Amino acid sequence: MAIITNNEEALRVKCSDVLPEEVGSIVDLLEKELEHSERMGRPGIGLAAPQIGIAKNIAIVRINDHYKINLVNCKIKDQYDLAMFKDEGCLSFPGRVENTMRYQEILIANNLVEPNSFILTGLPSVVVQHELGHMLGILLPDVAIKKKILVKSKLRPNDLCLCGKQNPPLKFKRCCGK
């Protein structure tokens, strides 16, 4: 298998839930493809089944050796603190990075592997939102903040700054508006 690149039609597939007996083999395929991508000079920290041509609700997140999550039939139950995330990338769009609006904290539910809900914050939250988006046919270009909108929209002094430098975001007048 190989990661599908720059083919939005192939990436916008309708995914079905994963059966318990399918989990192990699909996770193995995703891990092998993520490792292969890294060896080819395109490191990633998450990969969803639709990216390798499998229309199933499963993805992996591998931020480092100590932070590994298997997302199986997951849904975001609640989300908090929308903020701009700078330079988000995607293995299906090599070399492309975009600023996106993502929630800094999310509550995940309905995971087949770990049936209880759990909370993710920061980078893991962003990666999980990205990978779950793949399962819904939502791609990086869909969530990218349009540069024209940023240029055209005039921020008032008390609006939250969209630069993404501060977490939580400061008012524009206290950040980039100085």
Say if residue 20 is preceded by a cis peptide, omega within 30 of 0: no
Maximum separation of any 2 CA atoms in the chain, in Å: 57
Q: Cite the beta strand spans of 65-157 per DSSP E.
A: 67-72, 75-89, 97-109, 118-121
HSE-CB of 9 using CA atoms within 13 angstroms? 0
First to last CA, the chain: 51
Q: Burial-class residue 144 by CB neighbours within 10 Å (0-12, 13-18, 19+).
A: middle
CB-CB contact of 105 with 121 (8 Å): yes
Cβ atoms of residues 160 and 170 within 8 Å: yes
Give the pairing of strands 75-89 and 67-72.
unpaired
Please indicate whether residue 105 is annotated as part of the active site: no
From 33, 88, 98, 131, active-site residue: 131
Catalytic residues: 131
